[in-house]
Structure 1
Amino acid sequence: MEILLIDDDAITNFVHQNIIESKLPGMPIKIFYNGQTALDHICAHPETKFLVFLDLNMPIMNGWEFLEAIAPKIDTLQVNIHVLTSSIDPRDHQITDAMPFVRSFLEKPLDENVLDRFISDKIDQRE
């Protein structure tokens, strides 16, 4: 399993990476600053399980475009997507709720207790 942080903010990625590393030492974490490079990585490794934390507002390919692009491929990939954003717009939450492959809508920053909920059942699936 790999954890992907998809966010264009380097400081946010640094903070989230440190939180994850403190909970899951040795777990592979990859950082992508836009959705396109993350999508390319996921599609190039369909055998890998991914736990994705996705920001919505990014350059090149934003989170919405990423979700739109991955939707037709979702059945062939092993991806658990959690939107992790600073957006407080209730419409954003409603839109992601309608996407069955988006597991949750979280507000930044990532909280250790929230992380515990997502990883508890995923740890046993490491490959």
Structure 2
Amino acid sequence: MNDPVSSIMLIDDNKTDNFFHERVILKNNASQSVVALGSAFEALEYLKVGERLPDIIFLDVNMPGMGGYEFIAEYKKLGLTIKCLVVVMTGDYDDPKDEAIEAVKGIFHDFRPKPLTAEILDTVLEKYHSAPKPI
């Protein structure tokens, strides 16, 4: 496992998924803190306050009220810079469709299937947060 990031945000309306994903993150010492939110609305409000922006956001696409892509459109309007936005598809995903890729252009880093596993987490951290090791 890589060095932990400062903060990871989970946005998912499924409390069980948030609980499980938070446990995976903490068990693997991937982040110093985890913010688990149950809706895109809550996440936008949290990000607007901006006291502590997450390094990584894992976002569920299929949520009631405001789905993942609507969240991304509103997120873009905030003008914030998050190091890594990972759009997590539901468990039945194959490959993201062209319109999904277009919707997240400019701020998106990766699509990953649910559930979040230690392997997926390690891959994301290695890909987006690995720093060169001192010689």
Q: Which moved more, 1:36-45 or 1:115-124?
A: 115-124
The within-5 A match list for 1:1-127 is 1-24=6-29, 27-45=32-50, 48-74=53-79, 76-86=80-90, 87-88=92-93, 90=95, 92-98=96-102, 99-120=105-126, 121-122=128-129
**Percent of aligned pairs with the same amino acid:** 24
Question: Which has the higher Rg, Structure 1 or Structure 2?
Answer: 2
Conserved in 2, the CA contact under 8 Å of 1:46 and 1:77?
no
2:78 is paired with a residue whose SS is helix
Conserved in 1, the CA contact under 8 Å of 2:8 and 2:31?
no
Change (3 A) 1:55 1:34: same
Change (3 A) 1:21 1:69: same
TM-score when normalising by structure 2: 0.76
Conserved in 2, the CA contact under 8 Å of 1:4 and 1:32?
yes
Structure 2 stretches lacking a partner, 5+ long: 1-5
How many residues were matched structurally?
A: 122
Which string of whole-angstrom CA distances, capped at 9 and with x for unpartnered residues, describes residues 43-70 of structure 1? Answer: 2116634310000111232211101101
Conserved in 2, the CA contact under 8 Å of 1:80 and 1:102?
yes
Measured on the aligned residues, the alpha-carbon RMSD in Å equals 2.3
Which string of whole-angstrom CA distances, capped at 9 and with x for unpartnered residues, describes residues 50-105 of structure 1? Answer: 3100001112322111011012334x333421111215265x44234331211111
2: CA distance between counterparts of 1:27 and 1:113?
18
Structure 1 stretches lacking a partner, 5+ long: none
